[in-house]
Amino acid sequence: MNKIYEKLETCLESVRQKTDFQPETALILGSGLGDYADGIRIVQTIDYSQIEGFPTSTVAGHKGRFVFGYVNEVPVVIMQGRVHYYEGYPMTDVVLPTRLMGMLGANKLILTNAAGGVNCDYKAGDFMLIKDHISSMVPSPLIGENLDKLGARFPDMSEVYSGRMRDIIKKAAEEMGITLREGVYMQLTGPAYETPAEVRMCRTLGGDAVGMSTACEAMAAHHMGMEVCGISCITNLAAGLSSQPLDHKEVQETADRVGKQFKELITKVISAV
Ligand code: HPA
């Protein structure tokens, strides 16, 4: 049996011993947005450390648990704290939680993240709807023996971020008076922030925002047939675009400053999609 699938099944069994909750929508919370999960109608939480074989998150400020509950009437599973490639896990472990949420029954995935603005028109505090991504700078989560039970060996990636969901999100943002950019997210490995030359490279290649997550999760979810959308919170201008050196504190501070609005948007999006 495929080792990656075996590990997924072990984790699934471990979660199923603790809850029979049936989520429809999965949500992954980015840096500084983790407390969104504290404000929903929580039914149950499961710490990642309680799940056999689960990669546990090590970044300060990232709680590591699944939150099961309801946003309005929608049954959701939320990742409060994600797993990053820069923590040293293989990509298949990085996307294990995403796949697990799909196997628990979620057929829609909403991704959020904090990202650096590469597009010169962006400002810190902007929100960007992800219309596509560039993930070629990090290993593919689909490398290795294919998980035939989940999806195809050579999956199409021409619309990873659902046009249907994007239309709904744009409409929701407009109704709320929130300005929403739409752009291409580029995933790099981190953990160092980019150099100014790397940021110029991202821009030349067509990136509008840069970060250390998300694209791999979107690929794994799309591979297994989940409908995916993503919103970046532009927490800072990427390196070289401002006179300040980059600092994780700035990322947190911006996320805190616009967090309330971001959370309102997420709530509306969960109900609408
Ligand atoms: N670069 C990469 N990842 C990030 C950034 C950035 O500037 N800001 C928040 N996450």
Cβ atoms of 86 and 190 closer than 8 Å: yes
| CA-closest candidate to residue 29, choices 250, 266, 249, 272 | 266
Q: Is the pLDDT of residue 234 over 90?
A: yes
Question: Which residue is closest in CA terms to ligand 1's atom 2?
Answer: 211
Instruction: Take residue 235 and report the two structure tokens written for it.
Output: 């927490």
Q: What is the pLDDT of residue 118?
A: 97
Report pLDDT digits (tens) over 192-202: 999 999 999 99
Residue 211 Cβ < 6 Å to ligand 1: yes
Instruction: Take residue 248 and report the two structure tokens written for it.
Output: 């994780």
Best substitution site from 212, 237, 242, 262 to test ligand 1's pocket, by max atoms within 8 Å of Cβ?
212
Report how far ligand 1's centroid is from the alpha carbon of 225 (Å): 28
Best substitution site from 194, 201, 253 to test ligand 1's pocket, by max atoms within 8 Å of Cβ?
194
Q: What is the pLDDT of residue 59?
A: 52
Catalytic residue, chosen from 37, 236, 238, 255, is 236
If pLDDT is split at 50, 70 and 90, which confidence band does 62 have?
low
If pLDDT is split at 50, 70 and 90, which confidence band does 47 have?
very high
Instruction: Take residue 266 and report the two structure tokens written for it.
Output: 């997420």
Instruction: Give me the chain's average pLDDT, please.
Output: 94
Give mean pLDDT, residues 2-23: 96
The question of whether 135 is a catalytic residue gets the answer no
Cβ atoms of 223 and 150 closer than 8 Å: yes
Contacts of 2 (CB under 8 A, 6+ apart): 145, 147
The question of whether 222 is a catalytic residue gets the answer no
Instruction: Take residue 232 and report the two structure tokens written for it.
Output: 């970046």
Report how far ligand 1's centroid is from the alpha carbon of 9 (Å): 33
Q: What is the pLDDT of residue 63?
A: 62
Report pLDDT digits (tens) over 71-88: 999 999 999 999 999 999
pTM recorded for the entire structure: 0.96
Residue 30 Cβ < 6 Å to ligand 1: no
Distance CA 100, CA 132 (A): 23
